[in-house]
Structure 1
Amino acid sequence: MTSTTLAAIPTIKTTRLKLRPFSLADAPEVQRMAGSIKVAQMTATIPHPYPDGAAESWISTHLGQFTDGDAVTWALEELSSGNLIGCISYGVSKTHKRAEMGYWIGEEYWGKGYCTEAAISGIDFCFQHFSLNKITSRHLAHNPASGKVMLKAGMQQEGYLRQDMIRYGQVSDMVIFGLLRSDWERS
């Protein structure tokens, strides 16, 4: 893994991916991929339909959030093609020394292990560069593939919240995962 200075959102290279800052030029592809009903239904927050201008507005928040130590958000780029394939982010709670990981992958890139690869690198970066005790993540129970990403990234299931969210008119359970710094250091 390589990274640059923390003055700007760093770029990290993995075996098959580049985790890099988003640019406004990515907005149309973000809107297309994240706006897919199949992607949106697997997340807790992505709207469908995806509104015009929302991607640009979202991208414009990333540098300030990183500079303030509140979050790091990366575009996931496939090294072999240079294509944007998704996103991974870590929202930081300084008070609780915790970050929450969230991600989405364009449906044409599902099932290739890209999200796990990004999650492992992102977790490593966050524990190395933020004063964190824990990284958490959660997924809708009807998306078990997301839980597999969390397990492969070293996280443990910590909870199951019944009927925790209403998404597109459907009541959904939420599964909670976590990884302590002490467990990450031992791995």
Structure 2
Amino acid sequence: MYETKRLQLRSLVLSDAAQVEALAGDYEIAKTTLNIPHPYPEGGAITWITSILEDPNEGKTRRTFAITLDNMLIGTISLLIAEVHNRAELAYWLGTEYWSQGYMTEVAQLMIQIGFEEHQLHRIYAASFTENPGSWKIMKKLDMTYEGTMRHHVMKWGKPVDLVYYGILKEEYETKKQGAL
């Protein structure tokens, strides 16, 4: 388990399934993420959590955590690690009632630290729909650099969607960390 000032990151457990379905089942979450369906299928969270718990690469090429506030799951965050390239994609979602309170920025900073310090990554990047400014504003707060927009890069609900990309290199992270001391 990892902790920030207000939140905890812990492994997902099967008993999180109902809360995942309740939060991720919100249309506002589904429309801003690539892989969360709407409506969220009953039992879908159990299948998803089981796939993580049974994945032999969990902890090595993927780190997925429940974001908790006062022991209640409020979202999830992952590093999807490409070892051969020494990089990872940062992916996250947070229940709508927890938006605009700085929670995601807080835990994403911790995930970047985990990526660079524990996994010795060279680069961490994140992508967001251009129509999801809340997500890419978080990336800016993480001192990630805008790297470009991939036009019609993915399909969401049968329509092409643009993705905006931001990234941070280990040396940029270390420079920022040194400046904070």
2:58 is paired with a residue whose SS is helix
1:29 and 2:19 correspond = yes
User: Mapping of 1:27-176 within 5 angstroms?
Assistant: 27-63=17-53, 64-67=56-59, 69-79=60-70, 82-176=71-165
Given that residues 62 and 72 in structure 1 are in contact (C-alpha distance below 8 angstroms), is that contact kept between their aligned partners in structure 2? no
Aligned residues: 174
- Offset at residue 59 of structure 1 (A): 1.3
2:67 is paired with a residue whose SS is strand
TM-score scaled to structure 2, two decimals?
0.91
Given that residues 137 and 177 in structure 1 are in contact (C-alpha distance below 8 angstroms), is that contact kept between their aligned partners in structure 2? yes
- Offset at residue 76 of structure 1 (A): 0.5
> In 2, Cα distance between the equivalents of 1:66 and 1:165?
25
Q: What's the CA shift string for 1:106-159, capped at 9, x where partnerless? A: 011111110100100011011111131100100000001100111111211101
Given that residues 155 and 179 in structure 1 are in contact (C-alpha distance below 8 angstroms), is that contact kept between their aligned partners in structure 2? yes
- Offset at residue 183 of structure 1 (A): 0.6
Q: Could you tell me which runs of 5 or more consecutive residues in structure 2 were left unpaired when the two chains were aligned.
A: 177-181
Match of 2:2 in 1: 12
**Structure 1 vs Structure 2: percent identity of aligned residues?**
38
The CA RMSD over aligned residues, in Å, is 1.2
> In 2, Cα distance between the equivalents of 1:123 and 1:23?
23
